[in-house]
Amino acid sequence: MPNHTQPKLISGNANLPLAQAISRRVSMSRGMSVGLVDARVERFNDQEIFVEVYENVRGEDMFIIQPTSNPANDNLMELLIMSDALRRSSAARITAVIPYFGYARQDRRTKARTPISAKLVANMIDVSGIDRVLTMDLHATQIQGFFDIPVDNLYAAPVFALDIRHKFKKKLDKLTVISPDVGGVARARELAKRTGSALAIVDKRREKAGEVAEMTVIGDVKGQTCIIVDDICDTAGTLCKAADVLMDAGAKEVHSYITHGVLSGPAVERITKSSMKSLVITDSIEPTEAVQKAENIRIVPTAPMFAQAILNIWNGTSVSSLFDHEALAAIYEGTY
């Protein structure tokens, strides 16, 4: 274990409620107050970002809690500038806790003369002085290879499994987990395995980005309670259409579990009016007022998992232990 008495947490402006929740959970586990480091992250009149850390961080094990969600560029620059401020203040180690890793969908070249922006962002994080990255449900797991520093990628599936077992405990024998595309089968299979459910796929064919021309259900969903699982929901057009296709195929009801609720544009309105009975997201992205008011959108907390992961990194123990059902159930005791 390091010689430091406790890890030091600092947050940007991207998701302060999550950072505060993580701080409270770390404090509970340590039996002492582990508050967020006092700092200011603000903008000059020309929108340049300025960071000043008011506490001594020399030789400390620092954790920057900052998802790079909308506005992605501002939040990314906050992360990089905070890292530079800590590095120049002689922090011993800097870990970037990025619950939602923006630009992850640009992980390969799909057409000629296009960038691989996820790799560019990884390079920027590398050179900013960050020593380690802790994130959750990367859009593509191979993004870990874009970094030249250690990356710990947590998964929402174990938490979703706890939630499903709690909310659908009388319907577990009638559950079918749905992958909304062929690329998400591994994620859906993992959740189906954890809940003891059947597996089906909604195969989709896109004419162009953001538009789905045709959807087909692969598997029997008649009379089943369907659980669509995916990592990102942006405008919710594909998700709502998948729910309609499943209902047309004879599903009894449709629920969705999505790790990162980007929910931009008309997403909330579409979900509210859709045939989906509920949408469950995590708080990796700070929910808007519209999301909080939506009756069929529910938020699952990730602070217990991130807090334990931070403590495990700080004291040099296994992070992958958090993938175990029993370990996670203990962390979420009182919630489920």
Q: Which residues are catalytic?
A: 204
**Beta bridge partners of residue 77, listed in sequence order:** none
Annotated ligand binding at 139? The verdict is: yes
20 carries a ligand binding annotation: no
- Alpha-carbon dihedral sign for residues 22, 23, 25, 29: positive
> Is 333 within any annotated ligand binding site?
no
**Beta partners for residue 93, in sequence order:** 61
Is residue 105 part of an annotated ligand binding site?
Answer: yes
| 181 assigned ligand-binding residue | yes
**236 labeled part of a ligand binding site:** yes
Query: Does residue 237 have a known ligand-binding role?
Result: yes
What b/e readout covers 298-316, taking b as 16+ CB neighbours within 10 angstroms? Answer: eebbbbbbbbbbbbbbbee
Does 244 carry a binding-site annotation? no
Contact assessment for residue 261 and residue 287, using Cβ atoms and an 8 Å cutoff = yes
| Contacts for 101 with CB less than 8 Å, ≥ 6 apart | 67, 68, 118, 121, 135, 138, 139, 143
The verdict on whether residue 238 carries a ligand-binding annotation is: yes
Q: Establish whether 210 is an annotated binding residue.
A: no
The CA distances from residue 79 to 90, 94, 206, 229, 313, in Å, are 17, 11, 35, 29, 19
Cβ-Cβ contacts under 8 Å for 191 (sequence gap 6 or more): 157, 160, 161, 164, 177, 197, 227, 229, 257
Rounded alpha-carbon distances, angstroms, from residue 259 to 61, 99, 219, 220, 233: 28, 10, 24, 25, 8
Q: Is 144 annotated as a binding residue?
A: no
Give binding residues for D-ribose 5-phosphate as ranges.
206, 230, 234-238
Give binding residues for Mg(2+) as ranges.
139, 181
Give binding residues for ATP as ranges.
46-48, 105-106
Give binding residues as ranges.
46-48, 105-106, 139, 181, 206, 230, 234-238
